[in-house]
Amino acid sequence: MSVELAEIEMVVSAARAVATDVVLLELRAADGSSLPAWAPGAHLDVTVQEGVERQYSLCGDPSDLSRYTVAVLREPDGRGGSLHVHEHIVEGTSLRVRGPLNHFALSLPPASTPLMPHYVFVAGGIGITPILPMVRAVAAAGVSWELHYAGRSLERMPFVDELVASYGSHVSVYTPEAGHRLDLASLSGGSVSKPVAVYCCGPARMLTELESFAASARWPSGTLHLERFEARAVAEPVRHEAFEVELEISGLTVTVPPDRTILEVVEDAGVLVLSSCREGTCGTCETPVVSGEVEHRDSVLTPDEQEANEVMMICVSRAACPRLVLEL
């Protein structure tokens, strides 16, 4: 069974610049109804124009279900989705939206938990969007936290003024013009003598550096949580041969050749699977694994989730064995 997500017809109720090249869109249901609930870290799949879907993190207030808020960075060298948003989407534009979906959920134990973790948030540029509601949630919960926010310049860093004004010394801001560079060694939460939870969203280089730092500093498993906007680099697949995929619910068995994805072959077989990014970053095509060994090539699941082998992203991940059985 694939993930079921609500599809909602929405209207842009406000659009305004919140930083250089960043536009904030406020979206409301076209029929005025209340929207599905979400938690910090969630994103929407937005059809920005016919056949073009993009994922945007929700950055507003989860308790306000009359509207969703997303911020979109103009990326002149991107695939065109953000340019379309900046040039054609205005107040009153209708948009089709799917979600919310959350593969970057903030884990915030109940207030009665004896040893609450210290939270470390790391954001690069537009990567602040999923982090913003997390920061508000931990600040409201009264637990200890710190935010490290890096960008090319203050003008290009959405919400930076609001964050500094609201949270003062919890927030460290890094820009080349100010001569401040983010030092990963300072991210351990200083001398805190309790568990640390690290949440990071930003450019690929920032995430890769943080991952290597976490490995070399031997952070306990489950400490680091990453949200990727771009697919991580992966090596050649471990299997170069075709493999079989049995679709348990549909009763079909398909053969996936080396040059095609499971998603493509399954779609050709007439089985409906939701998908969006088709590059392993959004989580929309997540599919339960019944049996067989998976070579996980996505940028969504944590190492522990990949090891559990319970689900896979069939747009990029492949079999590491001759036959997989999927709940499709």
Residue whose C-alpha is closest to residue 89's, from 78, 102, 110, 74: 74
DSSP 238-293: S--S-EEEEETTTTEEEEE-TTS-HHHHHHHTT-----SSSSSSS-TTEEEEEES-
What number of chain residues touch ligand FES (CB under 6 A)? 14
- Shortest distance, position 118 Cβ to ligand FES, whole Å: 31
Residue 158 is a binding residue for ligand FES (CB under 6 A): no
Residue 280 is a binding residue for ligand FES (CB under 6 A): yes
Give the residue, chosen from 57, 69, 284, 306, that forms a contact with ligand FES under the rule CB under 6 A: 284
Give the residue, chosen from 278, 296, 297, 318, that forms a contact with ligand FES under the rule CB under 6 A: 278
Range 217-276, binding ligand FES (CB under 6 A): 275-276
**Joined tokens for residue 63:** 């308790």
Residue 150 near residue 206 (C-beta atoms within 8 A): yes
User: Which range touches ligand FES (CB under 6 A), out of 32-40, 90-98, 128-136, 277-285?
Assistant: 277-285
Give whichever of 82 and 281 is closer to ligand FES, judged by the CB atom: 281
Residue 283 is a binding residue for ligand FES (CB under 6 A): yes
User: Which range touches ligand FES (CB under 6 A), out of 11-19, 205-213, 235-243, 281-289?
Assistant: 281-289
Residue 277 is a binding residue for ligand FES (CB under 6 A): yes
Beta bridge partners of 188: none
- Shortest distance, position 285 Cβ to ligand FES, whole Å: 3
Residue 98 is a binding residue for ligand FES (CB under 6 A): no
Please give the sequence-ordered ranges of beta strands (E in DSSP) within 89-218, or none if there are none.
94-101, 118-124, 145-150, 171-174, 196-201
Distance, in Å, from the CA atom of 63 to the CA atom of 71, rounded to the nearest integer, reads: 18
Helix (H, G, I), strand (E, B) or coil at 22: strand
Largest alpha-carbon pair distance within the chain? Answer: 61
Range 16-45, binding ligand FES (CB under 6 A): none
Distance, in Å, from the CA atom of 209 to the CA atom of 207, rounded to the nearest integer, reads: 5
Give the residue, chosen from 48, 147, 150, 285, that forms a contact with ligand FES under the rule CB under 6 A: 285
Give whichever of 161 and 327 is closer to ligand FES, judged by the CB atom: 327
- Spatial neighbors of 21 by CB under 8 A, at least 6 apart, are 73, 74, 86, 156
Residues that bind ligand FES (CB under 6 A): 275-278, 280-285, 298, 300, 313, 315
